[in-house]
Amino acid sequence: MAGINLLAWPGIGTFVGGHKVSGAIQALMALIGGILSLGLIVVLFNFALKIDSTRFDIEAFMAGNGTYLIVGVTGFCLLAFAWIWAAISSYLIAKQLHREVRQ
């Protein structure tokens, strides 16, 4: 379960572990964050195209790519938050199962 939660898709392991609501929210946050993170790929691709030019104008680059950068960073932060939440959930579920086995 922890492997699914941390390596495959954050939230799915939490969902399978019995925490349906928090698992669904984590999975949705990870999906939205992953999609929004594609904005960073657009910015990096545009940057790679401009880096070979003789004169690189940072202000013009940011004017053309600032929105993608904001969306991408927001998505990355959302994905990171979902991943951290999934890690904490995995730990708490494992701790709960360990307690139940000991009793």
> Would you state the structure tokens that stand for residue 101, as one six-digit string?
């086995």
- pLDDT digit string, tens, across residues 69-103: 999 999 999 999 999 999 999 999 999 888 888 87
Q: What angle do CA 62, 83, 92 make, to 5 degrees?
A: 155
DSSP 8-state secondary structure symbol assigned to residue 9: -
E strand intervals along the chain: none
pTM: 0.80
Q: CB–CB of 51/1 below 8 Å?
A: no
- pLDDT digit string, tens, across residues 62-71: 898 899 999 9
Q: Which amino acid is at 86?
A: A
The rounded distance, in Å, linking the Cα atoms of 98 and 85 is: 20
